[in-house]
Amino acid sequence: MLLGARRIPLALRPACLLLALLGVGCKGRHAGNGLIPITLQADWYPQPEIGGFYQAQLEGLYKAQGLDVTVAPGGPFIVGHQQVASGAAQFAMGTSDQVLVFASRGIPLVAVAATMQQDPQAIMVHEDAPVKTFADLEGHTIAVKPGSIWFQYLLSRYSLHNTREIPATYSVANFLSDPNYIQQAFVTSEPYFAEKGGARVRTLLVSSTGYQPYRVFFTSRSFLNEHPEIVQKFVDASLQGWRDYLKDPTRTDDEIARLNPAMSPEQMRFSVDTLRRQHFIDGPGTVDSHLGHFTVERWSAMYKQLVDLKVITQPLDPATTYTTRFAP
Residue 10 has pLDDT above 50, yes or no: no
d(C-alpha 142, C-alpha 168), whole Å: 8
Quick: pLDDT tens for 270-316: 999 999 999 999 998 888 789 999 999 999 999 999 999 999 999 99
Quick: pLDDT tens for 147-191: 999 999 999 999 999 999 999 998 999 999 999 999 999 999 999
Q: What is the pLDDT of residue 33?
A: 85
Residue 19 has pLDDT above 80, yes or no: no
Residue 18 has pLDDT above 90, yes or no: no
Q: What is the pLDDT of residue 160?
A: 98
Q: Which among 270, 103, 91, 291 has a CA at the least distance from the CA of 185? A: 270
Identical fold for domains 10-118+213-321 and 121-209, yes or no, is yes
- 75 or 9, which is more confident? 75
44 close to 72: Cβ distance less than 8 angstroms = no
d(C-alpha 122, C-alpha 144), whole Å: 10
d(C-alpha 57, C-alpha 50), whole Å: 12
- 27 or 196, which is more confident? 196
Q: Phi-psi category of 273—alpha, beta or left, where left has phi over 0 and alpha has psi -120 to 50?
A: alpha
293 close to 258: Cβ distance less than 8 angstroms = no
When pLDDT is averaged across residues 100-105 and rounded to a whole number, the result is 97
Cβ count within 10 A of residue 226: 10
252 close to 71: Cβ distance less than 8 angstroms = no
* Whether the predicted model's global pTM rises above the 0.85 cut: yes
When pLDDT is averaged across residues 13-23 and rounded to a whole number, the result is 38
Q: For domain 121-209, give its CATH number from 3.90.245.10, 3.40.50.1260, 3.20.20.70, 3.40.190.10.
A: 3.40.190.10
d(C-alpha 171, C-alpha 177), whole Å: 12
Q: What is the pLDDT of residue 31?
A: 57
When pLDDT is averaged across residues 112-130 and rounded to a whole number, the result is 98
Provide the percentage of residues in the chain whose pLDDT is more than 70: 91
Q: Please determine, looking at this structure, whether the domain spanning 10-118+213-321 carries the CATH number 3.40.190.10.
A: yes
16: amino acid identity, one letter: C
φ, ψ at 151 (rounded to 5°)? -75, -35
Strands 121-126 and 201-205, sheet pairing: antiparallel
Mean pLDDT computed over every residue of the chain: 91
Q: What is the pLDDT of residue 194?
A: 98
Compute the radius of gyration of the chain from its Cα atoms: 19
Quick: pLDDT tens for 223-266: 999 999 999 999 999 999 999 999 999 999 999 999 999 999 99
Domain ranges in the chain are 10-118+213-321, 121-209
